[in-house]
Every structure is written in structure tokens, then in C-alpha cells.
Structure 1
Amino acid sequence: MVPNGLAVVKQEPREIHPQQGTVVGSGGGEVVAVATEETMDEPQINLQLGVSRFHCLACLRPIKPPTFKCGVAHVVCGACRSAHTQACSHAAAYAACPEVDAIISDAKLPCPFSEFGCPSLPVYFQAADHERVCHYAPCYCPILGCETYTSPTKLLDHFRSAHAWPVTEISYGKLCELAMPANAGLHVLVGKEDRRVFLVSASALGVCVAVSVVCLRANGGAAFGVPQYRCKLWVESRRSAGDVAMVTFSVASKNMSGGLVAAELGSFLAVTPDLLHDAAGETAVLRVRVDKVSGSGGGAAAPRFPIPPANCSGRQL
């Protein structure tokens, strides 16, 4: 009889020495958990177990070490003992569960974005934290009608091959100069330090042109471990010295499911016709600076943006 919630995995028989294994009871069956230290050549197996075996009976979330069990063998997180004591009449005393700690600390599963290229195998109780910050979380191509849906890294290749958009590598905190994107056009920026993908977009705004920058990612909330960015955009007039349009803002993150229109974003630079072209009809140069201001969801001071020198340019990929 297979115990409830436990799936049988067939594998080639191999010898388990008593000093290497620990037998963990599970109803009418047993699971042998190898407790030796991991080595590079240690064989790995894929198991299917009921998810409840990896969840705390008090908080109902993935159980985290150190774990403890009460008098009737309810296993809970160490931080949940006081809450469980109020719910269980047999929870007056607890015993540590080092054997459970060993198993849950080694229970890994593929990232849900593995099909998009993520190689990570996070520990189960840390899987949700990894998912919130995974660089491979898929996004859409911002061109409506284009059905490409994949990781930002693979979208970068798509932007080059399918749409021929210019791509520029940038360093955070340093200035770069770009050709002003055409109406409904895009210029792609790639952070040299972390390969983060940004899109510089332009759209009509009456007689002006709205220009903005957005981070291409599906998980850009201010959660722990998610980097945040600020951007400064400005255009200097070629006709009249001292005429400048400038804006500084926190960079929004979008998965592009609804496309991308600069004038519909929360922050953008409005470039007037006299700034957009000089007397000879030449298009203005757009200056951009992106700063990485936080890697933990907040608390970092906003960067100071000095007036830039006029001789900075980005490196084309």
C-alpha cells in the first residue's frame, strides 16, 4: 500500500549503507533519505511528493528550518511554535527535527521559468523569493500583433533580428547620447553590469514628441532583491544656447502585454518642435543617464544628476 500523498518513483536498485542513510517513516511506507554531504558526482533523483509534506502545519507556507515537532509529531517552522501551541493541545513540548531540516534544505525544484532559459534550482522554501526576482520571467514584444513572448534576454535577440531596432550598451551612472527615436520607434539599452534591458520610446504628443524609458521585466515591484532604477532625459536646443528640456524619474517596469506608448507612461520628456530640430532640420540628440539606485526594494537615496558634458556617447553593440 502506497502511503497517501506519496508517489512511487522507480529506479535502479543500489546499495544504501546504514551510515549513509536515514529511514524516515511515512505511514505504512518508508523513504530513504541520503544524508551524506553533496559532492559534484553525487547522483540526483527526481521525486514526486505531496506538497503538504513541505508546508508548515501552523502557517501553511513552505516550511523553513530549523523545524520542530510537537507531542503528536506535527512539524512546524521554528518561528511558528507559539502559534501552533495555541491550536494544538499536545504542543506543550517540542523536539528539534534535524532530519527534516536536512531534507527540506536539499529539496530543490526547477524555476517555473526554466523553459525561458533559467537554470536555477532553488530550494523549495525559497522558490517564491527566486520567482519574484528571476531575470528570465517572460515579457512580450511591445509591437502589437507580434506574438513573441519570452525572456528579456531572448527578446533582445528578437528586437535585433525581427525589428532591426538599434541596441546600445550603457553603464549605470554614465551618460550616453542617442539619436532621437522616431515617432513610435524604439531604441534598446542594455545595462553592462547586469544585462537589464531598457526601451527608449517616442510617441506623438500634440505638436511635441514624448520620450520615455521603461525597464523590460515582469517582476519590477519594489520587493526585496529587485533592483530599482532612475533615469534622466534631456535635450539641448541647437538653435538657442541654454534652452533645455529635462526630466528625472523612477523607471517603471512593464512586461509589455499592452504595448508601449511613451505618452501613456507616468513620466516622460516632452520635446517641443523648436528643440526637436535645428535650423537646418537636423534632429536633436537625446541624452540619457540611468542609475541603479537599489537592489533591495527601497531605502536608497536617489542619485544626484549633475549637468552632463556634451561629449559622451554610448557604445553600439
Structure 2
Amino acid sequence: MEQSAGQRSSVATNATVDLEVLDCTVCCHPLKPPVLQCGVGHVICSPCHGKLPDKNRCHLCAMDTEYKRCFAVEQIVRSILVPCRNAGYGCDAQTAYHDSDRHEDECPHAPCFCPEPGCGFAGATTSLLAHFTRGHGWPPAMEFRRATAFDLQVQEGKRVLRDVDGGHLFLFDVAPAGPAGLAGAVLLLEPHAGAKPRFECRVAFHCRATGWRQSSEFSVRSTALSGGSLPADCYAFVVPRVAHPPATASIIVSVREVSKKRQRNGDIRQHLKSRVNFDSWGLFLAPITSNVYTLIRTIKYRLKIKPIS
């Protein structure tokens, strides 16, 4: 039984298409409406046509011509749908070929990667969290609210912090830093890392035994951990070994979202700016770390102290 043209148009059929034929012959990007063609039929995208030095001469065959809209090609490029490359991670979206890059740049199912050496696991952030706890025995995610300070035990290893206000996942990692003590990192796990930081973090540490006070503020870096490991320069603060023997320390952490106004004004700190405050003679009982910045501040403080006559 024959089908009418209207009936055939509603039937989905799998077909093999060389997608290069749907690319502009000038910029080689996917054609998207409006599409123009010369009198012979050579097509070009509208932005490239606007850049031609001679708009009345074909860019391929050099024939004198008048470019006109090619509605047939426009209908074809609208109708060809391609699956998202993140289909294996749960995305079932199908978008027009010319719009696939935009979708994949924003796809919420794009994967993040496990930072454990030799693991190679990749998945959406929801599956990544389950993988951390079940596959590697990480502690359960610690939940927190933005701009609300919370206590966190400083122990070597990795754990996940979950923002209950937006569901974002943060990776908190502590690694040995030699004589300096312990180095810490806070990273935002997301598949599409932006150029501008979206969050800022403040970490405060106080040792009553020695009077040592220290606080650090830094922009939280976004990463998908695509290399399968933490970036080498991700460690943003140091917890010094101020007790002998070294004891498990507790720090106060606060994470807040960067306001749009501060982003516009460019007032976001891209690099670590540590402010170390010393308020008593007790700090001299603590070992001076190998951190050059801390050493300089300590020397400046000593020079300001005058002996009692």
C-alpha cells in the first residue's frame, strides 16, 4: 500500500549521511539557516557571504551570479537530527546537526572523571558521587549551605562536599606538603568549566595552644578532572603542623557564590591571597613553615615588636 507524501514525512528512517556535505564550503562549519547559493548551486552560510569581497561572484566557480536563499538545503539541515555524544552517560537528546555543538557545550550529562590513579571511570556528577563511595570507600558526601560556615576535620585524602542549595559537588582534597604541613584544595566538579569562577571559599584555622591564626580566601576552580587526576596547581591553602606530634586539625570552611556584580567589575581573585594574622607571642612557639610568604610576614611582625624598657 502506497503512502502519501504527508504520511512519509512523519515516519522516522535511519539513513547514512556524510555530514561534511552539510558544512559551509568557506568556514567548514555546519550550515544553518539562512543558507545562500549561487546560480550553479554552490552553497554558503550567511556570515561567510557577508564577508565576501565580491558578493556578485561565486566563491567557488567565480561565475558572475546573484546569491539567493536555498530553502531546500535549509529544510534538509533542519531535519537531520544527531544524537548527543553523551548518550552513553544518559542524554537522550537529538538536535539538529548545526546546533549539536551548542547543546553538547551545555549538556548536563557530560561526564566528569574519577581522580583516583588508574581508575578511568567517567560519568555524570550523580553517578560519580556513588562511584566515589562504593568504588573507593570515600566518606559520604558532607552537605552544607552556601555562605554558612561549617567545621571540617583535616585528614589526608579526598572527600566530597555537596551544596544543598544548588546540588553542586565540591572535591575537598588534603595532601602532605612536607615541613609546611598539609596542603588543601577545594574544586567544583562540573563538566563545563567556565573561565570565570562561580564560587569563592574561605578557610580559617586557629590553634589555641600556640596562638596561631590563619585564614585564606580564594576562588574555587571548576574542573571535570578530564586528565583523570587533580591539577598540580589546585592546592590553595596550607594547614601548618603547629602541634607536636602533628594532630588532626579542624578548620572552618565557608563557600559562597560570586555575585554577578563582582564578576562584571573584575574583582574576583584568580590566584590565592592568603592573609596570615599573628596576635600573640605564642606564634613563635610554632615551627616556621617553609612557606616563603609566611616567613616574610613573621619577620615583619618581629621587627615591629619593641622590648619593654
Q: Same fold (TM over 0.5)?
A: yes
Asked if 1:108 corresponds to 2:81, the answer is yes
In the alignment, the residues of structure 2 paired with residue 83 and residue 128 of structure 1 have an alpha-carbon distance, to the nearest angstrom, of 23
Report the secondary structure of 2:83's partner residue: coil
Do structure 1's residue 15 and structure 2's residue 3 form an aligned pair?
yes
Asked which structure has the greater CA Rg, the reply is: 2
> Equivalent residue of 2:185, what SS?
strand
* SS of the residue 2:198 aligns to: strand
Query: Would the alpha carbon gap of residues 228 and 130 (structure 1) be closer, same or farther in structure 2, given more than 3 Å must change?
Result: farther
Q: Identity across aligned pairs (percent)?
A: 22
The whole-number CA distance in structure 2 between the counterparts of 1:15 and 1:169 is: 58
**Residue 271 to residue 14, structure 1, CA distance change in 2 (3 Å):** farther
Q: Counterparts of 1:1-317 in structure 2 under 5 Å?
A: 15-17=3-5, 20=6, 34=9, 43-83=11-51, 85=55, 87-88=59-60, 89-90=62-63, 92-162=65-135, 163-171=137-145, 173-183=146-156, 185-192=157-164, 195-207=167-179, 208-222=181-195, 228-239=197-208, 243-255=213-225, 257-260=227-230, 264-274=232-242, 283-291=249-257, 299=264, 301-302=266-267
Q: 1:211/1:279 Cα in 2 relative to 1: closer, same or farther (>3 Å)?
A: same
User: What is the letter of the counterpart of residue 18 of structure 2?
Assistant: G
Mapped partners of 1:74, 1:92: distance in 2? 11
Q: Which amino acid aligns with 2:25?
A: L
Residues 43, 181 of structure 1: alpha-carbon distance in 2 compared, 3 angstrom cutoff: farther
Give me the whole-angstrom Cα distance separating, in 1, the residues matched to 2:247 and 2:185.
Answer: 23
Query: How far 1:175 sits from its partner (Å)?
Result: 2.7
Q: Which residue identity lines up with residue 287 of structure 1 in the other structure?
A: V
Q: Contact conserved, 1:170 with 1:190, CA < 8 A, in 2?
A: yes
Contact 2:154–2:250 (CA<8 Å) still a contact in 1? no
> Is the 8 Å Cα contact of residues 183 and 239 (structure 2) preserved in structure 1?
yes
Closer, same or farther: CA 199–118 of 1 in aligned 2, 3 Å:
same
> Structure 2 vs 1, CA of residues 196 and 242 (structure 1 numbering), >3 Å: closer, same or farther?
same
| 1:159 CA displacement | 1.1
AA in 2 matched with 1:229? R
- In structure 2, distance between residues paired with 1:250 and 1:265: 12
Give the match for residue 314 of structure 1: none
Distance 1:278 1:121 in 2: 60
SS in 1 for 2:82: coil
Gaps of 5+ in 2: 270-309
RMSD, aligned CA: 3.3
Partners of 1:136 and 1:153 within 8 A in 2: no
How far the C-alpha of 1:281 sits from its partner, in A, is 5.3
Contact 1:293–1:301 (CA under 8 A) maintained in structure 2? no
Where does residue 28 of structure 1 map in the other structure? none
Separation in structure 2 between the aligned mates of residue 102 and residue 166 of structure 1, nearest angstrom? 51
Look up the equivalent residue of 1:55 and give its one-letter code. D
What SS class does the counterpart of residue 73 from structure 1 fall into? Answer: coil
- What SS does the corresponding residue of 1:99 show, helix, strand or coil? helix
Amino acid at match of 2:254: V
Q: Which amino acid aligns with 1:190?
A: R
1:45-95, CA deviations, whole angstroms, 9 ceiling, x for partnerless residues? 333212133111222110111111111111221122244546242363122
Letter in 2 for 1:188: V
Could you list the per-position Cα deviations for residues 215-236 of structure 1 after superposition, in whole angstroms to 9, with x for gaps in the alignment?
A: 33454253xxxx7423213123
Unaligned runs of 5+ in 1: 1-12, 22-31, 35-41, 305-317
User: Do the aligned partners of 1:215 and 1:252 also contact (CA within 8 Å) in 2?
Assistant: yes
